[in-house]
Structure 1
Amino acid sequence: MGPAAAAAAAARPQKASAAGGVPARWVCALCASCFVFGVFVINRIWSVPEPVKLNEKALFVERTQTRLSEVYIPCQRKQNSIHIGEILNHVSQTHDVIMTLDKTISNLEMRLAAARAARATKQEKSLISADSDIELSKVRPKVFFVMGIITAFSSRKRRDSIRETWMPHGENLRRLEKEKGIVVRFVIGHSGTRGSLLDHTVDAEDEQYSDFLRLDHVEGYHELSSKTLIYFSTAVAIWDADFYIKVDDDVHVNIGVLGSTLARHRSKPRIYTGCMKSGPVLAKQGVKYHEPEYWKFGEEGNKYFRHATGQLYAISKELATYLSVNRRLLGFMVHRSQCGAHR
């Protein structure tokens, strides 16, 4: 074998080794992949327990805070409840004191107003004589309520209908006053000419039934508000009642229901009760029920203040006494069905 053949034989194994090897680029890529995989595996192994430990620690802290708050909140609620209870107790005591003072003031006002009413009544020339008026003002009979039925000379049939239905007469009327403290009277004044046939007719009817309250007042349709004021003033001077009632002679009353209703308000001062209503103030001239003093109620289109309808309403002793004392200071609205007296 010559030198050329020997060189060829020596070169063959090296060529085969080169042909069966891995390229350098692949080796680098494989190394990089192994490095990334190793980093991923290491992070995966060591990062999982850490959140678990943190979650356990956070859960422990949260449970501890919850237990502390459960202990603290009941104590705070107890303190708040004690504080609120003390406040309510003070409010209740203050309310009781205010109510007591209010009753005391109302009682003093009532006594003062009653004295003024008695003096004002003495100065007026009513049908009750001066001597008897002084005596009655000192020893007025105490009653539950006085009901005045506003009537007229021409209403004899209405009065008879009332006597036959809901109003007792004769001895039964006196028994109602004595046992129940309920006084019921027909209220009427006198004619423009004293001693006329109209007056004699009412005198005869009163002698028969003894159920009239005569006023020093000239009867007339346009004087009904003034008549009502005189009625309250006269009734206050004669009877010491808890309530004074005005009712028209075309209204039939259930005395039992009315008495039960008023009894619920007996301890309250300054009561004004009835079927409440209101109505527009008519400022335009020339229309029916035009109100000359419409400006007292504000701008055009306003309404009268809310008040009880005139067919039936009741006022307490304090209000009746106030009307009696201040009747000369009170004016009247033209539209009497919407509004009566005003100050």
Structure 2
Amino acid sequence: MGVSRPQKAANGVSTRWVYVFCIASFFLGVVVINRFWAIPDPLDRDKVSPEKHRSEEASFQTGDILSQVSQTHDVIMTLDKTISSLEMQLAAARAAKGDSEEASPVVTKLGTENLKARRKVFFVMGIITAFSSRKRRDSIRETWMPKGDGLLKLENEKGIIMRFVIGHSATAGGVLDRAIDAEDEQHKDFLRLNHIEGYHELSSKTQIYFSTAVAKWDADFYIKVDDDVHVNLGMVGSTLARHRSKPRVYIGCMKSGPVLGQKGVKYHEPEYWKFGEEGNKYFRHATGQIYAISKDLATYISVNRHILHRYANEDVSLGSWFIGLDVEHIDDRSLCCGTAPDCEWKAQAGNPCAASFDWSCSGVCKSVERMGEVHQRCGEGDEAIWHTSF
């Protein structure tokens, strides 16, 4: 016979936590019941005159009940936060376990991290990129994204994680994967996914990105941004900080475009018939260039990603996952400014931009050549992020 060890449930949560939670709930119930249902001694009641008794009852009703209700409310809120925290740990554990079981050799290490070792940060920004986008990535590194020691300083001092997000090729370990490995060795700014890259797989890639990021970092917000968008990190941080106390928020430039059922056109939706009659529009959703979601929503995607339907367009897919939930949609137009002169006019008017791109190109037109110019004219200044308090 050996010393018994604490058992763990299949979801990765120790049974010790279950026992602690049950015992705490029991004692809380005893305290609450005793406070509300305590009955005075009958002998003491007989000694009190009816008038005084009625006076005491009135005083109890106007004073003690309000005090006890307030205290009970505080206890309930504390329990609610505790339960929510346990649920988040459980969900993240499931996500980590799922990623570990399904991961390719390239990303196996992502799913095996200890859940308790997840770093608490402000936000994670995933810059969606492709194998062919090396020059785009370099244009971002040379402008609005810190690199090297600056990237580490951003993580340590501001709690901001920034990574280029990419999966692997159909032949894992091939020349494309080796090129990304070499680039990551140089810059250390990639998040590799258990995902086969493909133009029509962006909805799946986005889903896996959120699941992987939740398993790796405990963040208040998770951001997705394209690699041809200019971002002002200080403004993004200030924008998110205003919504930090809200549990389920979906922040972006909300739109409702037409459902395109005609084959061969850009943004064609093969499942157009699901959205009603011809000519209908989509429900409100954030445009895909950049958006942010709070931790609860990212965890929801992680837990349910195997049953969440993916439409042809990634931004529509994300919006569809939230449309039936109790989610606050925040339409923030600072996340979809145009490039100069639009961004300059808005800054002069006291409304600096968090992100800029050209609608005609769904990003900065010719971003490799123009990102430096856009940064010069639309940027908040390279030191702004360090002087911005969150």
TM-score by length of 2: 0.59
Query: Which amino acid counterpart does residue 129 of structure 1 have in structure 2?
Result: T
Query: Which amino acid counterpart does residue 179 of structure 1 have in structure 2?
Result: E
Report the equivalent of 2:120: 142
Report the equivalent of 2:217: 239
**Residue 149 of structure 2 is aligned to residue 210 of structure 1:** no
Distance of 2:266 and 2:189 partners within structure 1? 37
- Tell me by how many angstroms 1:123 deviates: 2.1
In structure 2, which of residues 130, 138, 143 is the aligned counterpart of residue 160 of structure 1? Answer: 138
Aligned positions, number: 255
Query: Which amino acid counterpart does residue 282 of structure 2 have in structure 1?
Result: Y
Q: Deviations over 1:283-332 (max 9, x none)?
A: 45676644333343234332211111111001111111111111110122
Distance of 1:286 and 1:158 partners within structure 2? 27
| CA gap 1:297/1:101 in 2 versus in 1, 3 angstroms | farther
Return 5+ residue gaps in structure 1 as ranges: 1-88
In structure 1, which of residues 94, 118, 124 is the aligned counterpart of residue 102 of structure 2? Answer: 124
- Tell me by how many angstroms 1:182 deviates: 0.4
SS at match of 1:329: coil
Distance of 1:120 and 1:159 partners within structure 2? 30
In structure 1, which of residues 316, 332, 343 is the aligned counterpart of residue 294 of structure 2? Answer: 316
Contact 1:148-1:184 within 8 A present in 2 as well: yes
1:181-192 equivalent positions in 2, closer than 5 A: 181-192=159-170
Query: Which amino acid counterpart does residue 154 of structure 2 have in structure 1?
Result: L
- Tell me by how many angstroms 1:223 deviates: 0.8
Contact 1:106-1:269 within 8 A present in 2 as well: no
Report the equivalent of 2:304: 326
Contact 2:136-2:228 within 8 A present in 1 as well: yes
Report the equivalent of 2:90: 112
**Residue 157 of structure 2 is aligned to residue 179 of structure 1:** yes
**Residue 209 of structure 2 is aligned to residue 196 of structure 1:** no
| CA gap 1:153/1:277 in 2 versus in 1, 3 angstroms | same
Contact 2:284-2:319 within 8 A present in 1 as well: no
- Tell me by how many angstroms 1:108 deviates: 4.5
Identity %: 72
In structure 1, which of residues 232, 250, 254 is the aligned counterpart of residue 228 of structure 2? Answer: 250
Report the equivalent of 1:273: 251
Report the equivalent of 1:79: none
Query: Which amino acid counterpart does residue 94 of structure 2 have in structure 1?
Result: R
- Tell me by how many angstroms 1:201 deviates: 1.5
TM-score by length of 1: 0.66
SS at match of 1:217: strand
Q: Report which stretch shifted further, 292-301 or 212-221.
A: 292-301
Q: Deviations over 1:5-54 (max 9, x none)?
A: xxxxxxxxxxxxxxxxxxxxxxxxxxxxxxxxxxxxxxxxxxxxxxxxxx
| CA gap 1:105/1:302 in 2 versus in 1, 3 angstroms | farther
Coordinate RMSD, CA, aligned: 3.0
Q: Deviations over 1:69-108 (max 9, x none)?
A: xxxxxxxxxxxxxxxxxxxx99xx7xx7797787566445
| CA gap 1:189/1:286 in 2 versus in 1, 3 angstroms | closer
Report the equivalent of 1:52: none
Distance of 1:191 and 1:282 partners within structure 2? 30
| Structure with greater proportional helix content | 1
SS at match of 2:127: strand
Contact 1:103-1:269 within 8 A present in 2 as well: no
Return 5+ residue gaps in structure 2 as ranges: 1-65, 322-390
Report the equivalent of 1:262: 240
Distance of 1:209 and 1:263 partners within structure 2? 28
Distance of 1:284 and 1:313 partners within structure 2? 28
Distance of 2:85 and 2:79 partners within structure 1? 10
Contact 2:170-2:196 within 8 A present in 1 as well: yes
Distance of 1:123 and 1:99 partners within structure 2? 36
**Residue 164 of structure 2 is aligned to residue 219 of structure 1:** no
Report the equivalent of 1:6: none
SS at match of 1:138: helix
Contact 1:136-1:237 within 8 A present in 2 as well: no
- Tell me by how many angstroms 1:153 deviates: 1.2
Q: Report which stretch shifted further, 107-116 or 221-230.
A: 107-116
Contact 1:106-1:318 within 8 A present in 2 as well: no
Structure with max Cα Rg: 1
Report the equivalent of 1:10: none
| CA gap 1:317/1:307 in 2 versus in 1, 3 angstroms | same
Distance of 2:274 and 2:82 partners within structure 1? 34
